[in-house]
């Protein structure tokens, strides 16, 4: 298969699924509770669009860096040994921005869920526990470099076994299963329907990334 085709492998799935998610968000965004509130003089819907835009930019960035590096060695050809470092810094900036954007959205749209706030906050704490355990497991057993996708850059990582310790005892994909619970916490803590919708978008969208980008890459890297 030509390299350009490999770079865009399964991206038709990415585009179609993302279009479906955005269509769903447009329908949800028509409700008054979804649009209610503001922060720093900026309406909730602006914060919501920003949160969605950051998530999309992050995952498109990862796709571009992973695929062009895997099939063309683009980043290391342009940046040498700094290729992975530059990518990891960009990955981290956008990853943190995704969480911050949802927190800001939750504060802007707070108290729009017609349920007892104390119960929602208990649920927020319960969802935070596996997310925290996930990041502990990544740090201790998996390594953040592997979580960032260093196997696209450094062939020496491709011979390492899959991790079956910590939270990875329960699922081979703890990052997407439990790590994204963290994005549900702000909406529950502040009782924000818009933030919960943003969390749902993020959680579904990362699985789109898995099936359209990461899983094909895993098959090509590890066989």
3-state helix, strand, coil in the chain (%, to 5): 80, 0, 15
- Candidates 213, 143, 217, 222; CA nearest to 175 is 143
Residue 103 has, within 13 A of its CA and on its CB side, a CA count of 6
Q: Does the pLDDT at position 205 exceed 80?
A: yes
What single string gives the DSSP state of each residue in 29-87?
TTSHHHH--EETTEEHHHHHHHHHHHHHHHHHHHHHHHHHHHHH-HHHHHHGGGHHHHH
What average pLDDT does this structure show over 162-168?
Answer: 82
Label residues 132-168 b or e (16+ Cβ within 10 Å = b). ebbbebbeebbeeeebbbbbbbeeeeeeeeebeebbb
Q: Distance (Å, rounded) from C-alpha 32 to C-alpha 123?
A: 24
Quick: pLDDT tens for 136-158: 998 888 888 888 999 999 888 88
Q: What pLDDT is attached to residue 108?
A: 97
Share of the chain above pLDDT 90, in %: 75
Average model confidence (pLDDT) across the chain: 93
Q: Domain spans of the chain?
A: 3-222
pTM beyond cutoff 0.95: no
Which residues, 6 or more positions from 145, have their beta carbon under 8 angstroms from its beta carbon? 84, 88, 157
Average pLDDT over residues 180-206: 97
Give per-residue pLDDT as tens, 50-91. Answer: 999 999 999 999 999 999 999 999 999 999 989 999 999 999
């Amino acid at each position: 298969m030509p390299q350009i085709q490999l770079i865009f492998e399964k991206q038709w799935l990415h585009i179609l699924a993302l279009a479906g998610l955005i269509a769903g968000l447009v329908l949800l965004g028509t409700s008054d509770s979804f649009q209610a509130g503001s922060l720093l003089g900026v309406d909730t819907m602006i914060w919501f669009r920003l949160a969605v835009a950051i998530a999309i930019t992050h995952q498109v960035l990862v796709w571009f860096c992973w695929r062009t590096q895997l099939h063309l060695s683009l980043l290391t050809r342009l940046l040498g040994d700094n290729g992975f470092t530059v990518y990891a810094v960009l990955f981290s900036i956008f990853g943190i921005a995704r969480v911050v954007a949802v927190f800001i959205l939750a504060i802007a749209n707070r108290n729009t869920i017609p349920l007892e706030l104390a119960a929602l906050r208990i649920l927020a704490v319960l969802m935070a526990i596996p997310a925290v355990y996930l990041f502990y497991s990544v740090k201790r057993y998996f390594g953040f470099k592997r979580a960032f996708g260093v196997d696209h850059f450094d062939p020496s990582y491709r011979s390492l076994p899959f991790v079956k310790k910590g939270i990875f005892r329960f699922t081979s994909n703890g990052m997407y299963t439990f790590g994204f619970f963290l994005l549900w916490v702000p909406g529950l803590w502040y009782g924000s329907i818009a933030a919960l919708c943003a969390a749902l978008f993020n959680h579904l969208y990362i699985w789109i990334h898995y099936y359209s980008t990461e899983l094909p890459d895993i098959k090509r890297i590890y066989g």
